[in-house]
Amino acid sequence: MSSHHIVRENQEPALVVWDPVRYEDLAEFLEWSPLVIVTEQSMELVLSWGIRIDVVLGAHDGAFSGQEAPYFAPPGPDTVQTLIDLLSARQCDAVVVFGEESLLSTLQNAPWHIHISVVTTAWRWVRISADFHKWFPAGSVWRTFGRSMEPGEEVVSTRDGMIEFDAKSILWVGEKR
């Protein structure tokens, strides 16, 4: 049996580098050459790693070199809405956003057909729209944000097992990295 897989366009989540990150945090998500979107403040860093950028959320300053120029999504009054419109236009069903925890409240009202994960330096967050079950090994640290965006307390799993989250009150589930 071959270990090669066929990956169709938009099957893998798009990657958005919203805030500068460490290369190690991003590297595991580059395996299938996903759509890579960056903000203006992250563009130079991502280019320095030799990663092909598909879209820049910002204005084109005419000084782009080193690769074929990406598409520049013109900045609007709401950069998040520009991102959501872009993902919808490209039929991206899932996105992994690298940035700060403040993105959780910024992205909370994105359309539900887009599955969103937010990766920070310390946490990996998943927005849930229905009841959510996840297996956590003993010693895992997790927490939630409710629909009111009130942070929950950190919880440490005492044993291996499934944990269920109620989507009526929980919006984001985060696992410490």
Q: Residue 153 in 3-state DSSP?
A: coil
146 domain-assigned: yes
Distance (Å) of CA 99 to CA 4, 9, 28, 108: 31, 25, 16, 14
Are residues 109 and 40 located together in one domain of the fold? yes
Of residues 31 and 65, more confidently modeled? 31
Question: Of all residues in the chain, what percent carry a pLDDT higher than 90?
Answer: 47
Range of the domain at 33: 10-121
Rounded to whole angstroms, how far apart are CA atoms 152 and 141? 12
Rounded to whole angstroms, how far apart are CA atoms 143 and 157? 11
Are residues 56 and 135 located together in one domain of the fold? no
Copy the structure tokens of residue 132. Answer: 């959510």
- Would you say how long the chain is, in residues? 177
Q: Which CATH number does the domain housing residue 69 bear?
A: 3.40.50.1220
4 domain-assigned: no
> How many distinct structural domains can be found in the chain?
2
Q: pLDDT at position 9, please?
A: 56
Q: Domain boundary at 99, 121, 143, which?
A: 121
Are residues 72 and 115 located together in one domain of the fold? yes
Rounded to whole angstroms, how far apart are CA atoms 175 and 29? 17
Q: pLDDT at position 66, please?
A: 58
Are residues 61 and 130 located together in one domain of the fold? no
Q: What digits encode the pLDDT tens for the residues 59-112?
A: 766 556 656 668 888 767 888 889 999 999 999 999 999 999 989 988 988 898
Are residues 50 and 116 located together in one domain of the fold? yes
Are residues 137 and 113 located together in one domain of the fold? no
Q: pLDDT at position 1, please?
A: 38
Distance of CA 120 to the CA centre of its chain: 9
Q: Residue 117 in 3-state DSSP?
A: strand
1 domain-assigned: no
Q: What digits encode the pLDDT tens for the residues 45-56?
A: 999 999 999 999
The CB density around residue 110, as the number of other CB atoms within 10 Å, is 19
Q: pLDDT at position 5, please?
A: 40
Q: What digits encode the pLDDT tens for the residues 139-150?
A: 999 998 887 777
Q: What's the pTM value of the predicted model, to 2 decimals?
A: 0.86
Distance (Å) of CA 125 to CA 59, 136, 144, 158, 171: 29, 14, 9, 21, 10
